């Protein structure tokens, strides 16, 4: 019973983490809007199962990267708020990870949607 309670509590902490990301990271709203837009476009174009899976995985990866980025930024700020070249690099690396997934998500969106928009798929 204690184990189950502990397990449920950890879900509570995780959900709090997602809520904190929305509170502290303005880019999370951008990711949410982008995710809603993708779901709407997918539904309108009636994309196939594989295309749904690819888009959902990419949405999850982008959110995950943004939340990790927020966590790393917070930790870095706890280490020092003073100007520190290494802290700068850590933050840049973390932001770079978000940019990478966003870039590849955009490339995948073009690959998935272009045939529909060109009338090659319906």
Ligand X SMILES: Nc1ncnc2c1ncn2[C@@H]1O[C@H](COP(=O)(O)OP(=O)(O)OP(=O)(O)O)[C@@H](O)[C@H]1O
For residue 45, count CB atoms less than 10 angstroms from its CB and return exposed for 0-12, middle for 13-18, buried for 19 or more: middle
Question: Within positions 10 to 29, which residues make up the interface with ligand X, using CB under 6 A?
Answer: 25, 27
In the complex, what is the shortest distance from the CB of residue 28 to ligand X, in angstroms, rounded to a whole number? 10
- Which residue has the CB atom at the shortest distance from ligand X? 88
- Which H or E run includes 92? helix 85-117
- Which H or E run includes 64? helix 49-79
Stretch that binds ligand X, among 15-23, 55-63, 83-91, 104-112 (CB under 6 A): 83-91
In the complex, what is the shortest distance from the CB of residue 74 to ligand X, in angstroms, rounded to a whole number? 9
The residue within the footprint of ligand X, chosen from 61, 91, 109, 121 (CB under 6 A), is 91
The residue within the footprint of ligand X, chosen from 60, 88, 96, 115 (CB under 6 A), is 88
What is the x/- site pattern for ligand X, positions 36-75, by CB under 6 A?
-------------------------------------x--
3 state DSSP class of 105: helix
How far is it, in rounded angstroms, from Cα 21 to Cα 71?
8
Q: Which of 56, 59, 68, 60 is nearest to 97 (CA)?
A: 68
Q: Compute the chain's Rg from CA coordinates.
A: 18
- Residues lying near ligand X in the complex (CB under 6 A) are found at 25, 27, 73, 80, 83-84, 87-88, 91-92, 95
């Amino acid at each position: 019973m204690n184990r189950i309670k502990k397990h449920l509590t950890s879900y509570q902490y995780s959900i709090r983490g997602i809520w904190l990301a929305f509170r502290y990271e303005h880019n999370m709203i951008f990711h949410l809007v982008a995710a809603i837009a993708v779901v709407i476009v997918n539904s309108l174009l009636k994309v196939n199962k594989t295309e749904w899976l690819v888009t959902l995985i990419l949405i999850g990866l982008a959110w995950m990267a943004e939340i990790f980025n927020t966590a790393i930024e917070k930790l870095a700020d706890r280490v020092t708020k003073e100007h520190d070249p290494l802290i700068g690099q850590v933050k840049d690396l973390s932001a770079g990870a978000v940019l990478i997934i966003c870039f590849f998500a955009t490339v995948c969106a073009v690959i998935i949607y272009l045939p529909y928009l060109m009338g090659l798929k319906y």
